[in-house]
Amino acid sequence: MTHVAGNIYSATFPGDYNHIIFNDNGYYQTSDLDVPGDGNIFISGDKDVNYQGTWEQYDPSSAVDAPNYVYFKKSESDYDGSMYAYFTDKNSNAYYSSPGIEMELVEPNIYRTEIPEGYHKVKFSFSSGTSIRRVTIPAPNYIYSRSSRG
């Protein structure tokens, strides 16, 4: 799939294929969906119900280049307190001094921060000073947890 903008991706189907299954490269995925034709966008629904959603006609002019985030999901065994993200580019240049940018709590135990343009690696750290090794960000809006070490 090709990244278009924000959380929008496109795909070109070879030949007369007319079905697709979307997945999050992990546990959740849609059922086998009928593709209603060219120029449509699938709006995913509740991930706990096989991402049931709807197809709509896609208007490219409505695609907003939304920020790309990296997420961190704390486990019960992780330290309490704030989370930080320390970004480096391909030459190991830091975006922000250690411990990094304080991440925003968006759901219980889920933190996020915007990925700075040109930075592809992140090291997460806890307010205690303990950090998790530097990892490559595999894709925008990726959720990192200790079980998904990149």
Any idea what the Cα angle at residue 67 is, between residues 83 and 58, rounded to 5°?
Answer: 140
pLDDT digits (tens, 9 = 90+) for 84-110: 999 988 888 888 888 889 999 988 888
Q: How many helices (H) and strands (E) does the chain have?
A: 0, 14
* Stretch 4-32: mean pLDDT: 73
Between residues 134 and 125, the one the model is more confident about: 125
Strand 69-73, strand 142-144: pairing: parallel
pLDDT band at 32 (very low <50, low <70, confident <90, very high): confident
- Output the pLDDT for position 150: 39
Distance, C-alpha 45 to centroid of its chain: 16
At residue 59, φ and ψ (nearest 5 deg) are: -110, 105
User: What is the percent of the chain where pLDDT is above 90?
Assistant: 7
- Output the pLDDT for position 139: 72
Q: What is the largest CA-CA distance in the chain?
A: 55
Mean pLDDT (the chain) is 77
Q: Is the pLDDT of residue 60 over 80?
A: no
**Domains in the chain: ranges and CATH:** 2-62 (no CATH), 69-148 (2.60.40.10)
Please tell me whether residue 148 adopts helix, strand or coil conformation: helix
Tokens of 137: 């960000």
Residue partners of 39: CB distance under 8 A and separation at least 6: 57, 58
Residue partners of 110: CB distance under 8 A and separation at least 6: 71, 72, 73, 74, 143
* Stretch 50-67: mean pLDDT: 64
* Stretch 141-145: mean pLDDT: 79
Q: Is the pLDDT of residue 12 over 50?
A: yes
Q: Is the pLDDT of residue 38 over 50?
A: yes
Paired strand residues for 107: 110
pLDDT band at 47 (very low <50, low <70, confident <90, very high): low
Residue partners of 85: CB distance under 8 A and separation at least 6: 70, 72, 100, 101, 103, 113, 122, 123, 124
